[in-house]
Structure 1
């Protein structure tokens, strides 16, 4: 992002107790958004950052942008990946359980961008359901994401599924 903007260092959502634990009423079996975090990859800047605003399409990247479903309508768009990262817990500790990536571009000059809203919703759902979908990312973005996840918590990276490590290995 721009150098003059202050970056908030927001970590991943912490796993909370199950709000439906102990009763069999409404909501049992529903997926909780408490354990998912949106991570943006700014390919040109070579950085990754969490922006919780993306949960409602109100992230720093998305604010003030009208998104179009056709990539060709957004010439010279700056490329980003929005990666949905779901944290779960094993006996040994927390790990990256679901990691799914969605492409998007933003052209600030014309205040337009490209993203496929159905893809973003479906990928968030897949992440919540513990899927790993990152093989379609470019190598530079894979390196940025892998570095970010390792730096955030190396133990969580170590406890993660081998598929995640293999798919992010360039």
Structure 2
């Protein structure tokens, strides 16, 4: 055995030059708990919402020609609407969505749209409910009162019906 080998300590006794001393501190009790966050859901604003409006249209007698030509619908504002709220408007089973980009007043119009049955997936006739929902942070916070409209379906006229209509209009010229 050489002189150098005797001075070399065995591998278990060698000091570790690269490793720092590890100090384990006890964990604090508050670190284990999750911070208490008040997850308060947004309040319900349904009481401040007004039903959709149909200017220049009688909601009790909407003709087939009117719905195919397009009907203007106004969604009124609310003082509780905030920037970033999402409005989902329903015409029966058809839905349309938009976002509020600025604060609005109670007497303002948030959205004005023109709906036509040419562009709807499911045209409906008879009684149809019109309403909208307000969503904030992916939570429903309000539903407007429904406006119930009647969309009349007028079937195509046969030649006999056209002829009868002409006879009636000749007999009663005031009609």
Report the TM-score range of the alignment, normalised by the length of the smaller protein: under 0.3
Higher helix share: 1
State which structure, 1 or 2, has the greater radius of gyration over its C-alpha atoms.
2
RCO comparison, higher one (Cα < 8 Å, 6+): 2
